[in-house]
Structure 1
Amino acid sequence: MAIVEQQKADEQMMHLAEEHKKEKEKLHMKIHDLERELDAKHGLELEIEQLRGALQVMKHTGETDLEEKEKLEAIKMHLQEKEEELEIVEDLKQMLVIWVHKINDELQDARKKLIS
């Protein structure tokens, strides 16, 4: 009986270890996704700042012909689109961070079960 119980315990431990390995791989992939999203966010922020700079230059030049006004409006629209895109990326990043924390907590629980 003791041998059977020990075998069951060993099987459970192997199963938990395999689950732990899979969860760890998922966590690493999510971390990679977060890094990629962060890079995208930085690119968007840079582009937004460039658009804001172009907008300020156009405002300060004081040229008010129709073509310049159209360019100014186009830049404003593009800036607004990029700011909305950045907001979406921020929301996605926040969701991924929460998800990574949840997975990390689950991994810690699995480790505790493995140890005990």
Structure 2
Amino acid sequence: MSSGDNRTIVVIDDNDDVRDFLTLIFEGEGYKVLPVEEAETALVMIKRLRPALITLDIELPRVDGLQLLESLKSDEDTMSIPVVILSAKRKSLRDFRATKADWIIEKPFDLKDLQLAINTLIP
């Protein structure tokens, strides 16, 4: 088991454009980015690599983002990895605040909000 990679961010979103945009932004900041479109693959990758941060969309195929978040935050190996929820589900944002997410950003998001989250959550 890896002790964690403080320069890797896993981007989980089923939208190709969002994954590509976030990858471009994070790589520009010097991070290695692993874009994933569904939760099952992401969970295996995260457990193996223990990245510095995860961005997580709620609307994912098969297993939704909240289920994945619950799995991550209830596992000793992954519970300390910061998770930033990126969601367009405005009505549900209040409910997301009750989750174990470390940061919540509404889509469409301001790049400054995302950079603040990253700079705050990655030591």
- TM-score category (smaller protein): under 0.3
Question: Which structure: greater helix fraction?
Answer: 1
User: TM-score normalized by structure 1?
Assistant: 0.20
| Larger-Rg structure | 1
User: TM-score normalized by structure 2?
Assistant: 0.19
Question: Which structure: greater strand fraction?
Answer: 2
Tell me: higher relative CO, structure 1 or 2? Use CA pairs within 8 A at least 6 residues apart.
Answer: 1
